[in-house]
Structure 1
Amino acid sequence: MDGETQGSGALATEGTLPPTDDIRDALRGIREGAGEGTVRIIDMILNRPLDVLGMTLIEMAEAASVSDSMVIKVLKRVNLTGFQSLKIALAHSLGSPTNAIHEDLSRGDDYGTIIRKTFGANVQALLDTELTLKPELLGQAVEILSKAEKIDIYGIGSAAPIAEDAYYRLIRIGLDARISTDSHLQVTTASIANKKTAVLTISHSGSTLETLDATKLAKKAGAKVVVITGYKQSPIQQHADVVLQTRARETKFRTEAMTSRIAQLAIVDALIAALALRHYDSSLATLNTTFEALSLRRV
């Protein structure tokens, strides 16, 4: 949960506003005489509220050059229990239409409310990721995958289904790909990678040991690496040539990794579309061939 700690009963509950009508007024009230780190945190929230709404706790702490625990300490001073509480309060303060999207599930929610909140979180993940995804980075990823003789795809745990989808989509447009969702197989394929190999690694945290080790090994062997991940500063990025970042927001019952799956799929979709257009004629021919083969499997 982004390293957040639970507050005492005297603090505002998750998803509620602090006693003041405007969280920004509360922050201004504690700014005077505060230390440099606290001032940087408050100024970032006051001056860049929309950016803060799209950040994780770790990203905001890095942007303010403070620790994540210090951010939480400042938030507790204005009766917020954690970073998600800040986002909700800030959205209310701005009169933002996204405040309903940030809402967490509550015990008394009916099925209609559950649908609205769940779909809203997924929609917001897509919108946030679209704003984060830079066209030039997508272009660089397409360049790497296009030039490779073989594409190895790595993904474990919740990233495995996304890796499977990427593999299926790549072979449908005629690119030579293979998938490794087993840690031993990942290390094996990584050890025999070379300069003609491209690696597509999918890892929300960017710190899953098995995927990190395989990606590092493939890079050392000479492969070009494209990573889809949710964090700007994660261990796996040290071994990536191109990083395509997802953005997702954590709630009580849905971790960022869960919500990020829809954003990961969207990035894969964009990659496949760009690759197919790059190799238009051959992709179309392969799609037609595979479609005809699959049609024989239908009743």
Structure 2
Amino acid sequence: MTEVSAIYTIQSKYASLSTKEKKIADFILKHPKESVNPSIEELAELIGISESTMVRFARKLGYTGYQRFRIALARETIPSNEQVFETGVSDQEDPIDTVFLNTQKTLDETYKRIDRVALQEVGKRFASARNIYLMGLGGSNIIALDAYHKLIRTGLNCNYASDFHMQLMLASQSTDKDIALIISHTGSGNDTLALAEECRNNGCDIAVLTSNNRSPLARMASNVLHVTTSTSLLVAESFSARIVSLTIIDILYVEVLERMKNLGVENLNKMRNVIAKRRI
């Protein structure tokens, strides 16, 4: 079944919209492509209305939420090659060049704007916490697993699960002596927010690694580790954001080891020795 045009839906239901909703409609109809990339928080501020009005607008159009509307608008306005590569690509461009250059750009932009104080503070909290919870869903779960793979070498008590319900169970056991690193490209998924809410209710410190530092998830964190990317937050599996997130995990790993001093090195050597025994 062919999906109804988001632009057509706005135009056909325009007369039934409230004054504030018409303000949203006018902006989107005038700037359809430019309305896709900003987060709901950024677009609401740009238009001059509340986030709740944005949600009501999408639902009045027949979508279950703003994100569903945003996806429909993107399909209609963003070229298919840009949806794949996260950036505009001509038929003459080499995919290898496109992906490498985009990743390099995201690395450079994040490096220029990295919050060093936040990184140091999270490293400090990791080194002193009773438990470290490493959480993320979908593609972010892979980054959480990488963090677990790195940090378990330090000898610190790290906790990780691939299943959402298992992560929720871990969050239910968190305390004010613990810290949770929650990873999310968009910072707006309901399940991810549920993890953060459970940790917060238990007094657990929350650090967030995200591309959207104005997201609902970021607002729940004590420290935000921000990946600066020019790509659309609509692309939840963002190539460049994933690579930079893994780099930030590496920085945290080094930061923790430096804070642990000799104990960290001893634990690291224990790991290396036990692995070495399994090699020919």
TM-score for both structures, normalised by structure 1: 0.65
Secondary structure (helix, strand or coil) at the match of 1:175 reads: coil
Residue 185 of structure 1: which of 166, 190, 211 is its match? Answer: 166
Q: 1:258 aligns with which of 231, 238, 241?
A: 238
Query: Take 2:194 and 2:204, find their aligned partners in 1: how far apart are those partners?
Result: 14
Matched residues in 2 for 1:128 and 1:158: separation? 22
**1:6/1:82 contact within 8 Å kept:** no
- Aligned 8 A contact 2:174 2:199 in 1: yes
Pick one of 222, 245, 250 that aligns with 2:203: 222
Are the aligned partners of 2:187 and 2:212 in contact in 1 as well (CA < 8 Å)? Answer: yes
The answer to whether residue 196 in structure 2 is matched with residue 212 in structure 1 is no
Moved over 6 A (4+): 81-84
1:258 partner amino acid? S
Identify unmatched segments of 5+ residues in structure 1. 8-36, 39-55, 70-80, 85-100
| Alignment partners' CA distance in 1, 2:160 and 2:115 | 26
Q: CA separation in 1, counterparts of 2:193 and 2:6?
A: 31
Query: Aligned partners of 2:135, 2:228: CA distance in 1, in Å?
Result: 20
Q: Which residue of 2 aligns with 1:104?
A: 88
**1 CA distance for matches of 2:186 and 2:235?**
11
Q: Within 1, Cα distance between the matches of 2:192 and 2:87?
A: 32
Indicate the SS of the match to 1:153: strand
| Matching of residue 116 in structure 1 with residue 110 in structure 2 | no
Separation in 2 of the partners of 1:82 and 1:128?
Answer: 26
Q: CA deviation at 1:295?
A: 1.3
Check the 8 A contact 1:202/1:229 in 2, yes or no.
yes
Partner of 2:273: 292
Give the structure 2 partner of residue 278 of structure 1.
259
TM-superposed CA distance for 1:180, in Å, is 2.2
| Partner in structure 2 of residue 237 of structure 1 | 218
Q: What is the CA–CA distance in structure 2 between the aligned matches of 1:83 and 1:114, rounded to whole Å?
A: 18
Q: 1:157: how far off? A: 0.4
Cα deviation, residue 57, structure 1: 2.6
Select the residue among 133, 146, 153 that pairs with 1:152. Answer: 133
Aligned residue pairs total: 220
Contact kept? 1:104, 1:117, Cα under 8 Å: no
- Per-residue deviation, residues 122-146 of structure 1 (Å, max 9, x unmatched): 1111112112321111122122222
For the Cα contact (< 8 Å) 1:249–1:256, is it kept in 2? no
Q: Kindly report the root-mean-square deviation, in angstroms, between the aligned alpha carbons of the 2 structures.
A: 3.2
CA shift digits 1:88-130 (9 cap, x unpaired): xxxxxxxxxxxxx995334x346xx211111011111111211
CA distance in 1, matches of 2:164, 2:87: 36
* In structure 2, C-alpha distance between the alignment counterparts of 1:154 and 1:263, rounded to whole Å: 17
Relative contact order, higher structure (CA 8 A, sep 6+): 2
Q: CA deviation at 1:223?
A: 0.6
- TM-score (ref. length: structure 2): 0.69
SS of corresponding position for 2:203: coil
Sequence identity percentage: 25
More displaced 10-residue stretch of structure 1: 151-160 or 123-132? 123-132
Residue 171 (structure 1) aligned with residue 152 (structure 2): yes
- Seen in structure 2, the aligned counterparts of structure 1 residues 83 and 131 have a Cα distance that, compared at 3 Å, is farther
Do the aligned partners of residues 130 and 149 (structure 1) sit closer, same or farther apart at CA in structure 2, a change above 3 Å counting?
A: same
CA distance in 2 between partners of 1:173 and 1:6 (Å): 51
Amino acid in the other structure paired with 2:134: I
Is the 1:121–1:249 Cα contact (8 Å) retained in structure 2? no
Instruction: State the secondary structure of the residue aligned to 2:217.
Output: helix
Match of 1:247 among 217, 228, 242: 228
Q: For structure 2, which runs of at least 5 residues remain unmatched after alignment? A: 8-25, 28-36, 55-75, 80-84
CA distance 1:134–1:82, shift in 2 (3 Å): farther
